[in-house]
């Protein structure tokens, strides 16, 4: 698109006349003009000449993504755009130099949703910036845009960030060129169910607006795009294995540690808490963090870790692809595109084995873009035809049956399409990157430290836990720095190991929980002998201990959870946490009971069978005996008719109503996001309707108000 100089000059004059509002869009942090550092959010239009983003037919994809799906959508869309001869750039919203926004004419925003309708972390700054009241209503009138949201309709605030972004951009004068799209995890095809048709429409409109120049044509689909990265093996490194300057990468430091806020955790307990006869393996995991700069955590915080693939699985994958011989040869990952950088946590120097162990996920269900790219890697015409059919609009149901319904993995798909030979240079385009997994912390910080101090006291308390923990007014912990010694933080997790049968009766495992299950803890060093320390060389030792007698260590980060306790401990609390949803509830209840002395606590817990999977039963019963907790357990399969938490909530209508209405209490809900949150919400509405003498519509509005006051919060996951 030709540069609209009149607009540019207009903006420039407004700025020169001191229009601070537009200036905010034009800030060029860190640049200097005539020796004068520019203040943040100020602009000198003379800078504009240095900015050369006005390539004709430029399209910018800005994404906000918490766990990588929106990023994946943005990167694939940019590739498609390049096929249509657009000059496409991709960036996380917060990484984008927003001083350039005033010069962007054609932008596609892609935003997922996290928390309770919140923006992902990497768009928070950008969003805050857009919200500034000082922006004039025509600040972005040079820009045409559209928005694609990723969300899950089981959440009340379905796709909120994308919807709010769409509106806010319009308020700032930007003009939508195409209708927004809102993907729903509940769609049987997942994100692809909405994305496919939406993209088809997007390209149609985009090409009408910016037709391909006469001398060019759309790059046909059988022409493969430039690989984003190349894997370069240096023959002189052959056989060098780890004995080279990549040595530093072999410490148990490969991923999170490259960013501030990562801490090394040692696994001290990894214990199955469901009955051995029960089909579901749920683990109580205890981690110890001794890093002196670890800032601790709060009740309701979430722990994130990046899992790895097991050595035996990686070996099988390497063998299948004929890469075993070169698996341990050092290689360098070279970036080929200026706007597609290697994620920061992936080292440029490593080996094929470390890449497949620590960074690439070939054991997950493939996205449509995987099949799109795969077409290029087989010479078998039947396979090509099948793959083309899968990615065509008409083939979506077939793709669903083949891929999503059966939860086929990428590795299995490769084995089905036997003619496929994956070129090493396309690995990073073809295989998704292993994303961190989150787990609600199931312990309260104060309790954990006290437990340790007590157990340490009998040994050498001063040496091990010399720092005295004090309970501050706001319920936080702080260390009394006058006392010397090493402080150890303990973090508990309650983890369901993902292991299920598909419709084809094939067993499936989850990447992170399979890995967690395999790890040996300080407690089970002797017992564990199989998968944790497999025979294959684990050259990078990123996350597991390399010898049988060491507990596993890995890097973790602490993130703020969505759920928050009421500040005042005398406010009653209703916790609803079926299954592993009980994890954050344990953190809150421990904190309320041990640290705050609160007694008005209710827990609605759900499990299948009292004797099989009633997590932390003894603790709840003990608290109940002490008059500090009322617990209602819904054991769904102990009788003929299912009993779920929502049934007990309705049974306890008067108590629930008293806590919500009379006492202005707080309700916290956590667990599986499939159907449970909607069912529980309906049960709460029914309680409000019957106890408060309201219609269901009024009760629903009432609950929405309670939610807006922060007294009904949920954190659920798929």
Ligand X SMILES: Cc1cc2nc3c(=O)[nH]c(=O)nc-3n(C[C@H](O)[C@H](O)[C@H](O)COP(=O)(O)OP(=O)(O)OC[C@H]3O[C@@H](n4cnc5c(N)ncnc54)[C@H](O)[C@@H]3O)c2cc1C
SS (H, E, C) 167-199: HHHHHCCCEECCCCEEEECCCCCCHHHHHHHHH
Minimum distance, C-beta of residue 297 to ligand NAP, in the bound complex (Å): 22
| Partner touching 449 among ligand FMN, ligand X, ligand NAP, none, CB below 5 to 8 Å by kind | none
Q: Which element (helix H / strand E) includes 507?
A: strand 507-509
142 vs 514 by CB, closer to ligand X: 514
Q: Which two tokens stand for residue 570?
A: 């005398």
| Partner touching 596 among ligand NAP, ligand FMN, ligand X, none, CB below 5 to 8 Å by kind | none
Q: How many binding residues for ligand FMN (CB under 6 A)?
A: 24
Distance CA 691, CA 675 (A): 24
| Partner touching 439 among ligand X, ligand FMN, ligand NAP, none, CB below 5 to 8 Å by kind | ligand X
Distance CA 260, CA 159 (A): 30
Q: Are 672 and 636 in contact (CB under 8 A)?
A: no
How many helices and strands (H and E) does the chain possess? 22, 26
Q: Which residues line the annotated binding site?
A: 112-115, 150-159, 185, 437-440, 510-513, 580, 636-637, 642-646, 679, 717
Q: Are 602 and 648 in contact (CB under 8 A)?
A: no
Residues lying near ligand X in the complex (CB under 6 A): 302, 364, 407, 437-440, 494-496, 498, 500, 510-513, 580, 583, 715, 717-718
**Strands 666-672 and 573-576: what pairing?**
parallel
**Strands 330-335 and 349-351: what pairing?**
antiparallel
In this chain, which residue has its C-beta nearest to ligand NAP? 579
Distance CA 184, CA 114 (A): 13
| Partner touching 318 among ligand FMN, ligand NAP, ligand X, none, CB below 5 to 8 Å by kind | none
Q: Which residues line the annotated binding site for FMN?
A: 112-115, 150-159, 185
Q: Environment class of residue 372 by beta-carbon count within 10 Å: exposed (0-12), middle (13-18) or buried (19+)?
A: middle
| Partner touching 157 among ligand X, ligand FMN, ligand NAP, none, CB below 5 to 8 Å by kind | ligand FMN
Q: Which two tokens stand for residue 344?
A: 């920061």
Task: Candidates 101, 108, 120, 592: give the one binding ligand FMN (CB under 6 A).
Answer: 120
SS3 category, 622: helix
Q: Which of 272, 288, 289 is nearest to 280 (CA)?
A: 272
438 vs 580 by CB, closer to ligand NAP: 580
Which residues ranging from 431 to 490 are in contact with ligand FMN (CB under 6 A)?
Answer: none
Minimum distance, C-beta of residue 404 to ligand NAP, in the bound complex (Å): 12
Q: Which of 622, 500, 430, 562 is nearest to 66 (CA)?
A: 562
Radius of gyration of the chain (CA): 27
| Chain length of the chain | 718
Task: Candidates 129, 323, 657, 717: give the one binding ligand FMN (CB under 6 A).
Answer: 717
The helix-helix angle for 676-691 and 696-708 (nearest 10°) equals: 110
104 vs 715 by CB, closer to ligand X: 715
Q: Are 653 and 667 in contact (CB under 8 A)?
A: no
Minimum distance, C-beta of residue 258 to ligand FMN, in the bound complex (Å): 20
What is the number of other CB atoms lying within 10 angstroms of the CB of residue 241?
A: 14
Q: Choose one: 41-49, 110-118, 319-327, 498-506; the region binding ligand FMN (CB under 6 A).
A: 110-118
Distance CA 185, CA 181 (A): 13
| Partner touching 425 among ligand NAP, ligand FMN, ligand X, none, CB below 5 to 8 Å by kind | none
Q: Which of 707, 718, 441 is nearest to 560 (CA)?
A: 441
Buried b (16+ CB within 10 A) or exposed e, 30-40: eeeeeeeebee
In this chain, which residue has its C-beta nearest to ligand X? 510
Residues lying near ligand NAP in the complex (CB under 6 A): 280, 496, 498, 500, 578-580, 606-608, 636-637, 642, 644-646, 671-672, 674-676, 679, 718
609 vs 682 by CB, closer to ligand FMN: 682
Binding of residue 368 to ligand FMN (CB under 6 A):
no
Q: Which two tokens stand for residue 655?
A: 């108590």
131 vs 718 by CB, closer to ligand X: 718
Distance CA 715, CA 669 (A): 6
Minimum distance, C-beta of residue 313 to ligand FMN, in the bound complex (Å): 23
Q: Which residues line the annotated binding site for NADP(+)?
A: 580, 636-637, 642-646, 679
In degrees, rounded to 5, the angle at the alpha carbon of residue 561 between the alpha carbons of residues 110 and 268 is: 120
Q: Are 89 and 78 in contact (CB under 8 A)?
A: yes
Minimum distance, C-beta of residue 620 to ligand NAP, in the bound complex (Å): 15
279 vs 392 by CB, closer to ligand X: 279
| Partner touching 592 among ligand X, ligand FMN, ligand NAP, none, CB below 5 to 8 Å by kind | none
Q: Which residues line the annotated binding site for FAD?
A: 437-440, 510-513, 717
Minimum distance, C-beta of residue 414 to ligand X, in the bound complex (Å): 17
The helix-helix angle for 69-83 and 191-209 (nearest 10°) equals: 30
334 vs 718 by CB, closer to ligand NAP: 718
Distance CA 63, CA 110 (A): 5
Minimum distance, C-beta of residue 1 to ligand FMN, in the bound complex (Å): 29
159 vs 646 by CB, closer to ligand FMN: 159
Task: Candidates 60, 90, 96, 151: give the one binding ligand FMN (CB under 6 A).
Answer: 151
Binding of residue 150 to ligand FMN (CB under 6 A):
yes
12 vs 120 by CB, closer to ligand FMN: 120
Which residues ranging from 163 to 202 are in contact with ligand FMN (CB under 6 A)?
Answer: 185, 191
Minimum distance, C-beta of residue 510 to ligand NAP, in the bound complex (Å): 7
Binding of residue 66 to ligand FMN (CB under 6 A):
yes
| Partner touching 69 among ligand NAP, ligand FMN, ligand X, none, CB below 5 to 8 Å by kind | ligand FMN
In this chain, which residue has its C-beta nearest to ligand FMN? 151
Q: What is the DSSP track for 425-482?
A: GGHHHHSPBPPPEEEEB-S-HHHHHHHHHHHHHHHHHHHHS-SEEEE-TTS-EEEETT
Binding of residue 158 to ligand FMN (CB under 6 A):
yes
| Partner touching 674 among ligand NAP, ligand FMN, ligand X, none, CB below 5 to 8 Å by kind | ligand NAP
347 vs 577 by CB, closer to ligand FMN: 577
SS3 category, 106: strand
Distance CA 696, CA 661 (A): 16
- Give contact residues for ligand FMN (rule: CB under 6 A): 65-70, 112-117, 120, 150-152, 155, 157-159, 185, 191, 715, 717
């Amino acid at each position: 698109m030709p540069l609209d100089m009149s607009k540019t000059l207009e903006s420039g004059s407004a700025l020169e006349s001191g229009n601070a509002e537009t200036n905010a869009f034009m800030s060029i942090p860190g640049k200097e003009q005539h020796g004068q550092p520019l203040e943040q959010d100020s602009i000198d239009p003379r800078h504009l000449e240095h900015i050369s983003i006005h390539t004709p037919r430029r399209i910018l994809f800005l994404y906000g993504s918490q766990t990588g799906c929106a990023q994946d959508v943005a990167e694939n869309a940019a590739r498609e755009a390049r096929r249509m001869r657009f000059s496409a750039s991709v960036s996380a919203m917060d990484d984008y130099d927003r001083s350039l926004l005033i010069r962007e004419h054609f932008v596609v925003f892609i935003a997922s949703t996290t928390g309770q309708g919140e923006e992902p972390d990497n768009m928070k700054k950008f969003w805050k910036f857009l919200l500034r009241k000082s922006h004039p209503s025509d600040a972005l009138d040079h820009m045409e845009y559209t928005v694609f949201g990723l969300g899950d309709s089981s959440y009340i605030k379905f796709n909120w960030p994308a919807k709010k972004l769409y509106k806010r951009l319009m308020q700032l004068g930007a003009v939508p060129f195409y209708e927004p799209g809102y993907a729903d995890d509940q769609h049987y095809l997942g994100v692809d169910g909405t994305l496919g048709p939406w993209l088809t429409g997007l390209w149609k409109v985009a090409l009408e607006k910016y037709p391909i120049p006469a001398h060019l044509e759309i790059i046909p689909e059988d022409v493969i795009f430039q690989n984003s990265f190349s894997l370069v093996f240096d023959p002189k490194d052959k056989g060098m294995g780890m004995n080279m300057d990549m040595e530093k990468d072999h410490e148990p430091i490969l991923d999170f540690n490259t960013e501030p806020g990562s801490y090394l955790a040692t696994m001290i307990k990894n214990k199955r808490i469901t009955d051995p006869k029960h089909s579901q393996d749920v683990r109580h995991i205890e981690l110890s963090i001794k890093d002196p700069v670890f800032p601790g955590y709060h009740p309701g915080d979430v722990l994130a870790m990046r899992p790895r693939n097991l050595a035996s699985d990686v070996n099988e994958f390497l063998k299948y692809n004929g890469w075993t011989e070169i698996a341990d040869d050092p290689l360098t990952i070279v970036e080929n595109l200026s706007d597609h950088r290697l994620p920061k946590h992936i080292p440029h120097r490593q080996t094929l084995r470390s890449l497949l162990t620590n960074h690439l996920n070939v054991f997950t269900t493939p996205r449509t873009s995987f099949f799109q790219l795969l077409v290029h890697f087989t010479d078998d015409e039947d396979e090509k035809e099948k793959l083309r059919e899968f990615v065509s609009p008409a083939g979506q149901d077939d793709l669903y049956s083949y891929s999503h319904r059966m939860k086929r993995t990428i590795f299995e798909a490769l084995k089905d399409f036997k003619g496929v030979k994956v070129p090493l240079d396309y690995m990073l385009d073809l295989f998704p990157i292993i994303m961190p997994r989150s787990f609600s912390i199931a312990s309260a910080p104060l309790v954990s430290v006290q437990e340790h101090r007590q157990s340490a006291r009998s040994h050498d308390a001063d040496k091990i836990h010399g720092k005295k923990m004090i309970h501050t007014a706001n319920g936080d912990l702080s260390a009394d720095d006058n006392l010397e010694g090493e402080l150890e933080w303990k973090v508990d997790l309650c983890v369901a190991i993902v292991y299920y049968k598909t419709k084809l009766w094939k067993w499936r495992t989850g990447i992170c929980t399979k890995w967690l299950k395999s790890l040996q803890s300080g407690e089970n060093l002797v017992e564990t002998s199989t998968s944790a320390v497999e025979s294959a060389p684990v050259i990078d030792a990123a996350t597991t201990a390399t010898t049988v007698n060491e507990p596993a260590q890995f890097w973790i980060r602490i993130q703020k959870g969505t759920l928050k306790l009421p500040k005042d401990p005398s406010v009653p609390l209703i916790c609803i946490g079926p299954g592993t949803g009980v994890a954050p509830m344990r953190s809150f209840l421990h904190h309320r009971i041990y640290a705050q002395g609160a007694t008005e606590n209710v827990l609605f817990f759900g499990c299948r069978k009292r004797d099989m999977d009633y997590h932390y039963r003894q603790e709840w019963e003990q608290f109940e005996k002490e008059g500090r907790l009322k617990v209602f357990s819904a054991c769904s399969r102990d009788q003929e008719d299912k009993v779920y938490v929502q049934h007990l909530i309705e049974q306890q209508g008067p108590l629930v109503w008293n806590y919500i209405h009379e006492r202005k209490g707080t309700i916290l809900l956590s667990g599986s996001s499939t159907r449970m949150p909607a069912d529980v919400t309906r049960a709460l509405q029914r309680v409000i309707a019957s106890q408060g003498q309201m219609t269901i519509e009024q009760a629903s509005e009432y609950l929405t108000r309670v939610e807006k006051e922060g007294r009904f919060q949920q954190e659920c996951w798929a």
